[in-house]
Structure 1
Amino acid sequence: MKKNSFFPKRYFMIVGTFLLALLLYVDRICISVAKEPIAEALSLSDKQMGWVLAAFSLGYAFFQTPSGIMVDRFGPRKILTIIVVLWSSFTAITGAAWNFISLLIIRFLFGAGEAGAFPGMSRAIYSWIPLKERGIVTGINFSGSRLGAAFAVPAVAWAITDFGWRNTFVLLGVLGGVWAICWYIFFRDTPEELKSISQEEKDFIISQRQEKNTNATTKKIHFGTLLKSKNMWLAMGQYFCSNFTFFFALTWLFPHIKSEYQLDTVEAGLYTAIPLVFGAFGNWFSGWLIDKIYKKGKWDASRIFPASLGFALAAIGLLGSVYMSSAVGAIVFLSIAIFGADMTLPPSWAFCVDIGKKHAGTVSGTMNMAGNIGAFITALLFPYLLSWTGSTTLFFVVGAILNIIAVLIWFNMKPHKHFSEY
């Protein structure tokens, strides 16, 4: 028992979900790195490749809530295993695409498969992580996705160069299968089901797991109740704003920096990775700040203050980048923007666990659906505004306005109230 107390079993779960977030974004960004060889092999235009990238966002958005419902009903052990096998299969099958339509369908299904990942993590966090530790755990998980995006670019580029893009997709699919096997073998839905956990840790988790108001948390969820919830709509609105900013870094930051400041491919790639690394820092800092404020007995403030600060920094960073005459200056401000945007993630997902409790998967999936609609709009709005105005300025102004709106939204959110109550 004493040995277990030094390395709590819940830490193994955190390692597993961190690696899942890392894998999630490695698989997601792979197609962006492989864009040129895929387009050449399949004779695709830039517009067709744009729709291929957008197909992922639609599949990912549409299946968020259904995936969340499945996680709540059948548990994160089974559902995360199944969805990782599914999306890894479609990752591997991407290497077998033979034309535009086949690639479009495969990437849509790939997005649908990935949809349940973060809702599944949220449900696992509810069962395994005490309320006062949720901030830092959520921050760690999301930092995995940012580090995966930042460091996957050179690693995947090397793999594509040495093994070809088709074999690279197959390799990534195999890695996902390995994760799924390990998760199913070692993870359990609740600490009560894990025989090797110490009684001391089990009692600690259960006593700090937010089991109050059990009637509201155990009854079957109804979409009417969810859609009537002010907390739910506010969570969706602010997350739409958050994703609008961050997904710019995943989609258009590289071509924007390369074109705006006349950089070569290697320079642009290195510059692009910097804001993503700062995004990971933003997750860690926000997670730490959430738990620090919560331990002072300020539940609502522990979510509202870090999120509001993050959105304010994102607005400042986006606007500041417009006035920079050098790539270094622009990256400094864009790093501030992504640091701020990622500060909003731990409070957003902790908020979903707070108000969703045993329905955390459904609530977080619904919020993430709205967020990825924002990501889809970002991918399309940037080139269209650039075409209409001849400048990127309006896009950054729109992003800054959305971040300011999100600050106002957060001051109306109530983390301590279940979605059926507010």
Structure 2
Amino acid sequence: MNRAQYFPKRYFMVLGTFLLALLLYVDRICISVAKDPIASSLNLSDKQMGWVLAAFSLGYAFFQTPSGILVDRFGPRKILALIVTIWSAFTALTAAVWSYGSLLVVRFLFGAGEAGAFPGMSRAIYSWIPLKERGIVTGINFSGSRLGAAFSLPLIAWLITEYGWRNTFVILGIVGVVWALAWYVLFRDNPEDHNAITDIEKRYITENRQDKESTKTKEVLRLRILLNSKNMWFAMGQYFCSNFTFFFALTWLFPHVKKEYGLETVEAGLYTAVPLLFGAFGNWFSGWLIDRIFKKGNWNISRQIPATVGFLLAAIGLLGSIYMDSAIGAIVFLSIAIFGADMTLPPSWAFCVDIGKKHSGAVSGTMNMAGNIGAFITAITFPYLLAWTDSTTLFFVVGAILNILATVFWLYMKPQQKLTQY
């Protein structure tokens, strides 16, 4: 057995994207943990903080498709290194805000900077990863985001307690620049161009990709083709529903649990890390399930089954959490909800690579744009519904309904059909 078979070098690329996803969510969730000291420092209300959290999602959503097109055009090596540098700069600049308005602007631009991360990963996966490994690799990448968020909750809570929220944002910005430099030096857009990859592994990758020809392309995907595709619209709709559930965990779960159950900051961080850990498990399980079903020759079902099971679990978890009167009970059901919501990610992003191929960046970016409109709505809906009804029940019921609707969308999605065919 040759050396490449013992430890394929393409998995170093997967390690890089895993670390990118981890960093992405460490930087993203810091604002949630820092909510109270920021609100106190700048005299902000919960509704104003809701708009601060939503500003990120809006910037992130608006720049998804343009970032995906740039990744397809110039390659994930240059674009990922650039966008990580940009968002790290705005992470650090969060430390310099002085008012509600300045915080809104910085968080919007931070979201715009992060927009190309997952489309860039999708484009790299298309070039580097054989079709039959696509599910587990996607699951590993998204588990990095959940692990990053989970472990950073208590860590960031400690950093803010010890060094203040402004210094914490500066530290995270520096870490991001280090990743960007390492990625630019070590990565190449295609395995055929990487000197560290053996000829045997290069041949294995190219013979088992979705398309066996070169993945290099200068063609730009026309917006008309995206908008005329039923696959694209269904992908966007179901991802909107998925993000509505998951982004509650990234935005309001920490302050909600802390206030509802009278917890200390670090204690609340430990509690709210649990659903995110279950999210990582959901990604791993779903990615494994996708590849297992796919290897049996069931391409469509390999995407549909993990997604529909995940959405049903998310609905059950959200509804069950309504009836819990303790932090532990609520966390158990919310862990089920996030496990289910994250089961939907590997099939969603694998689906985008399936139908997008050389335009995976633009397709996945468009889907993620719709998803982050859901995230935007989550960030502002939670505090407004809470103020209106004095309860979180309506918010969780709406989330459950959206999850059930998403299972219907998946019945009509066809991963084997090109954008121009369906």
| TM-score, normalised via structure 1 length | 0.96
Moved more, 98-107 or 230-239: 98-107
SS at match of 2:96: coil
2:19 is aligned to 19
Give deviations 1:244-276, integer Å, cap 9, x for gaps: 111111122223333444444444332211111
1:349 is aligned to 349
Gaps of 5+ in 1: none
1:248 is aligned to 248
- Relative distance call for 1:47 and 1:323 in structure 2 (3 A) is closer
For the Cα contact (< 8 Å) 1:5–1:198, is it kept in 2?
Answer: no
SS at match of 1:221: coil
Moved more, 236-245 or 372-381: 372-381
Asked if 1:91 corresponds to 2:91, the answer is yes
Give, in angstroms, the shift of residue 363 of structure 1: 0.3
For the Cα contact (< 8 Å) 2:32–2:255, is it kept in 1?
Answer: no
1:35 is aligned to 35
- Relative distance call for 1:313 and 1:223 in structure 2 (3 A) is same
Asked if 1:308 corresponds to 2:308, the answer is yes
Whole-angstrom distance in 2 between the partners of 1:218 and 1:170 = 37
- Relative distance call for 1:124 and 1:213 in structure 2 (3 A) is closer
For the Cα contact (< 8 Å) 1:151–1:273, is it kept in 2?
Answer: yes
- Relative distance call for 1:274 and 1:211 in structure 2 (3 A) is same
1:377 is aligned to 377
Matches within 5 A, 1:58-97: 58-97=58-97
- Relative distance call for 1:198 and 1:301 in structure 2 (3 A) is same
Whole-angstrom distance in 2 between the partners of 1:218 and 1:142 = 28
- Relative distance call for 1:393 and 1:163 in structure 2 (3 A) is closer
Whole-angstrom distance in 2 between the partners of 1:307 and 1:224 = 27
- Relative distance call for 1:324 and 1:45 in structure 2 (3 A) is closer
Give deviations 1:96-118, integer Å, cap 9, x for gaps: 22222222211111100000000
1:132 is aligned to 132
Query: May I ask how many residue pairs the two structures share in their alignment?
Result: 421
Whole-angstrom distance in 2 between the partners of 1:413 and 1:213 = 26
Give deviations 1:58-108, integer Å, cap 9, x for gaps: 100100000000000000000000000100111111112222222221111
- Relative distance call for 1:334 and 1:18 in structure 2 (3 A) is same
Whole-angstrom distance in 2 between the partners of 1:88 and 1:264 = 29
Whole-angstrom distance in 2 between the partners of 1:377 and 1:38 = 22
Whole-angstrom distance in 2 between the partners of 1:165 and 1:270 = 18
Asked if 1:362 corresponds to 2:362, the answer is yes
2:335 is aligned to 335
Moved more, 325-334 or 350-359: 325-334
Whole-angstrom distance in 1 between the partners of 2:223 and 2:144 = 31
2:410 is aligned to 410
2:230 is aligned to 230
Give, in angstroms, the shift of residue 161 of structure 1: 2.7
2:188 is aligned to 188
SS at match of 1:103: helix
Letter of the aligned partner of 1:2 in structure 2?
N
Whole-angstrom distance in 2 between the partners of 1:182 and 1:267 = 35
1:171 is aligned to 171
Give, in angstroms, the shift of residue 369 of structure 1: 0.4
Letter of the aligned partner of 2:235 in structure 1?
A
1:144 is aligned to 144
Moved more, 157-166 or 331-340: 157-166
SS at match of 1:95: helix
1:156 is aligned to 156
Give, in angstroms, the shift of residue 381 of structure 1: 1.6
- Relative distance call for 1:283 and 1:305 in structure 2 (3 A) is same
Give, in angstroms, the shift of residue 162 of structure 1: 2.8
Whole-angstrom distance in 2 between the partners of 1:260 and 1:44 = 19
Asked if 1:205 corresponds to 2:205, the answer is yes
Give, in angstroms, the shift of residue 218 of structure 1: 7.6
Give deviations 1:266-293, integer Å, cap 9, x for gaps: 4433221111110000000000000000
Give, in angstroms, the shift of residue 360 of structure 1: 0.2
Whole-angstrom distance in 2 between the partners of 1:348 and 1:84 = 23
Moved more, 393-402 or 284-293: 393-402
Whole-angstrom distance in 2 between the partners of 1:31 and 1:96 = 14
Give, in angstroms, the shift of residue 219 of structure 1: 4.9
Letter of the aligned partner of 2:368 in structure 1?
N
Whole-angstrom distance in 1 between the partners of 2:175 and 2:336 = 33
| TM-score, normalised via structure 2 length | 0.96
For the Cα contact (< 8 Å) 1:310–1:343, is it kept in 2?
Answer: yes
1:53 is aligned to 53
Give, in angstroms, the shift of residue 213 of structure 1: 10
Letter of the aligned partner of 1:203 in structure 2?
R
Gaps of 5+ in 2: none
RMSD value over aligned CA atoms?
Answer: 1.8
Give, in angstroms, the shift of residue 391 of structure 1: 2.3
Give, in angstroms, the shift of residue 214 of structure 1: 9.4
Give, in angstroms, the shift of residue 119 of structure 1: 0.3
SS at match of 1:353: helix
Whole-angstrom distance in 2 between the partners of 1:214 and 1:303 = 26
Whole-angstrom distance in 1 between the partners of 2:88 and 2:263 = 34
Give, in angstroms, the shift of residue 349 of structure 1: 0.2
- Relative distance call for 1:105 and 1:347 in structure 2 (3 A) is same
- Relative distance call for 1:212 and 1:416 in structure 2 (3 A) is farther
1:420 is aligned to 420
2:393 is aligned to 393
2:281 is aligned to 281
Moved more, 47-56 or 275-284: 47-56
Whole-angstrom distance in 2 between the partners of 1:386 and 1:50 = 12
Give identity over the alignment, percent.
75
Whole-angstrom distance in 2 between the partners of 1:28 and 1:15 = 20
